[in-house]
């Protein structure tokens, strides 16, 4: 992953990204009990994956490399929308 962040020219954001992903994953788990955590965590992870997808598109990565970011963005968007109903 360090090499990927170097390639993205986002080396300084690597640790922050890891922390945000960890907090988001923890929030999703705790969100099974507290709906507000599920809503906030899924929205945050959706936005994080959107940023990741934008970076992949700007770097002109192949569709196959970009699919995971798009999939997790859509999955978290679905969780977010389902949690606000």
Query: Do residues 51 and 28 lie in contact, with contact meaning Cβ atoms separated by under 8 Å?
Result: no
- What pLDDT sits at residue 36? 96
- What pLDDT sits at residue 61? 87
The range of the structural domain enclosing residue 23 comes to 2-83
Q: Which two tokens stand for residue 53?
A: 């997808």
- Phi and psi at 84, nearest 5°, equal -90, -5
Query: If DSSP codes are grouped into helix, strand and coil, which group holds residue 34?
Result: coil
Task: Show pLDDT as tens, one digit a residue, over the chain (85 residues).
Answer: 777 778 777 888 888 998 999 999 999 999 999 999 999 999 999 999 999 999 989 889 899 999 999 999 999 999 999 999 8
- What pLDDT sits at residue 12? 82
Q: What angle do CA 76, 26, 19 make, to 5 degrees?
A: 90
**How many structural domains are present in the chain?**
1
């Amino acid at each position: 992953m360090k090499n990927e962040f170097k390639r993205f020219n986002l080396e300084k954001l690597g640790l922050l990204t890891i922390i945000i992903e960890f907090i988001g994953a923890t929030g999703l788990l705790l969100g099974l009990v507290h709906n507000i955590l599920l809503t906030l965590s899924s929205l945050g992870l959706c936005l994080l994956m959107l940023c990741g997808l934008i970076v992949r598109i700007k770097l002109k990565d192949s569709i196959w490399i970009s699919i995971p970011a798009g999939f997790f963005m859509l999955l978290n968007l679905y969780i977010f929308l389902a949690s606000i109903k």
